[in-house]
Amino acid sequence: MKLTGNLLIGAHEIPATEGTMKALNPATNQLIEPDFALGGVEQVDRAATLADEAFDAYSHTSLAERSAFLERIADHLDAASKALAARAALETGLPEAQLQGEVARAATQFRQFADVVRKGRFLQVAIDPAQPDRQPRPRMDHRLQKIAIGPVAIFGASNFPISYSVAGGDTASALASGATVIVKAHNAHPGASEIQARAIRQAVQDSGLPEGVFSMVRGSGNAIGEALVDHPLIKAVTFTGSEQGGMALYRRAQQRPEPIPVFTEMTSVNPTFVLPHALAGRGSQIGDGFAERMLVNVGQACLKPAILIAIEGTGFDALRAAMAQRAAQAGARPMLTPGIHASYIRGLDDLQRAGARLAAEGEPAHGDLDGHSALLEVDGAHFLSETALAHEVFGPAALLVKVRDAAQMLAVARSLRGQLSAAMHLEQTDIELARRLLPILERRTGRIVVNAFAHPQEVSFATIHGGPFPASSDSRFTSVGMTSIERFLRPVSYQGFPDALLPEALRDINALAVPRSVDGQ
């Protein structure tokens, strides 16, 4: 596929208005052709205007039409899979085979959301029929369904160039809700972003939908992102990235004349708690598995297990040795961007200045952007006294926390901020301690895993990818899974309507066969 580097605003190819950029190959630290256009406020305004003009028509498409559109996107992603994975590998340093799996996951998400739309459960239809004879006052007919919130701005992530990017779950769930979408592509993988955007735009055209259903913009610095958040036609924002970046967007959105929701996925250390009998029986296995998951994607994953807490005693030395061996044997690999690499080096230094000791490190870096693995350790008392030790270090590093007893383990759990996930490794004989730990973790995370690691994650109805602040800005919602569509919906009640004027899902005859609550039943 030939890359033009243009911005894709509706059906239009927009050349550079604010300069150009090239992608960087982090494995070679060399720039890659071609030039990619950078835009500004004017291009954001054009995209937002088109999205608003398209919204009424798109949000009122039938469930069948919208499902077919989402499936066309999946088909176009499948067709572009080889070229997309190859370009993403050049721009990220990640293995091409892994990225082909990411394309497949993205296409699968669109098909899953097509099924969600087709079944209509997301509408959450409720009907309270009229009761004209009710005393002391008659009740009018009330009918409720959920509709899309409006045009949505989506900020692509750096670490998953497809499944959290232009064709990621945010885009799939927003389009499924009936929202029109503007994606701010991440500058770390502009070529991969263009291929995905063209797949979506082709599906818009094939489906005969208004051009403003989807646009992709790109810019340098913060100006274009700020313009998206500020634009009065944008009604919601999603963001995956750092706490600093996410909170800057969140605060900005609350200062608008019309505040809007910003759904962020920010920072998490995804703690793993190894309970005593599991430690005694499986310490080595748990330690090796933890370190293996920590190293996936060179540690550049939001669900990377970064802190392991275990009680000193039988099995601890075996656990520590297995973690150290896995970390020491890991080769240094390219990190995604110069900024992420620099932040990783600073993060390792911060941990050591806060009192963590280096227990093992992997092969030294060969390339300029290589990230070498590191295992650090600290005792529970010191961890509790230094809040900096609980901060995320985005990269192939982990912290082992040795606590003296169950009480100190629970104290460590209580000290943690909000997390995307937490894990417990336990045996049946650990159940009583697990019962004490569980409510502490429930208050601090959106997902608790037993006898496994939080990464990877299924995309399903029962999935939660979110948690209390600072893991996300709103712990009531998930950014992954079928229920992530709920971020982009709001309820509307229709009172006293004639049947012919009602939305199809609310009419007396349920021709769509969608699930409905009638008078609470």
Give 433's Cβ-side CA count (13 Å radius): 23
Q: What residues in the chain have per-residue pLDDT under 70? A: none
HEC secondary structure over 183-238: EECCCCCHHHHHHHHHHHHHHHHHCCCCHHHEEEECCCCCHHHHHHHHCCCCCEEE
pLDDT score, position 1: 74
36 membership: H or E segment, kind and range: strand 30-37
What is the CATH number that goes with domain 272-450? 3.40.309.10
Strand partners, 419: 445
What is the reported pTM? 0.96
Q: Residues 55-102: pLDDT tens digits?
A: 999 999 999 999 999 999 999 999 999 999 999 999 999 999 999 999
Instruction: Read off the amino acid at residue 439.
Output: P
Q: Catalytic residue positions?
A: 265, 302
d(CA 226, CA 175): 22
Instruction: Give the pairing type, strands 214-217 and 7-9.
Output: antiparallel
Domain edges within the chain: 8-120+149-266+473-496, 272-450
DSSP 8-state assignment for residue 399: E
Q: What share of the chain is helix, strand, coil (3-state, %, to 5)?
A: 45, 20, 35
Give residue 457's pLDDT: 83
CA pair distance 357, 400, nearest whole angstrom: 10
Domain 8-120+149-266+473-496, second-level architecture: 3-Layer(aba) Sandwich (3.40)
* 229's tokens: 């958040």
Using only C-alpha atoms, what is the Rg of the chain? 25
7 neighbors 217 (Cβ within 8 angstroms):
yes
494 three-state secondary structure = strand
pLDDT at residue number 467: 97
507 phi and psi angles, rounded to 5 deg: -70, 165
- pLDDT, tens digit, 9 for 90 and up, residues 408-438: 999 999 999 999 999 999 999 999 999 999 9
